[in-house]
Amino acid sequence: MATKQQFRSFDEVLSSSPVPILVDFYATWCGPCQMMAGILTQVNHQLKGQLKIVKIDTDKYPQIASRHQIEALPTLVLFKAGQPMDRIEGVLPTDQLINRLREQLA
């Protein structure tokens, strides 16, 4: 689903993407975050080419989590042209998440 990638600047990743980016702010110890991993695999499959999914481990990148005011895990933030367009805290079932994303992608 998600490919591990090194980057110099998170802002560069957000602003340089030709498609919207769904950022999954998570932690490896977070049970609900592990549930979201499977849901995001299905989302990626159904919305392939319409968005890109990026995972940010808040333990490894606390400065990014802080800058985006991540207070609950998991938190999903949809960015378009580098700007946050939608924010989802907690676990959403696959169909609800896809419907919500499709509204934002239209």
C-alpha separations of 91 from 11, 17, 68 in Å = 25, 25, 19
Burial class (CB in 10 A: 0-12, 13-18, 19+), 98: middle
Amino acid (1-letter code) at residue 51 = L
- Please report where in the chains the tokens 């979201």 appear, as a residue: 36
Residues 40 and 96 sit within 8 Å (Cβ to Cβ): no
Active site residues: 30, 33
Count CB-CB contacts under 10 A for residue 55. Answer: 19
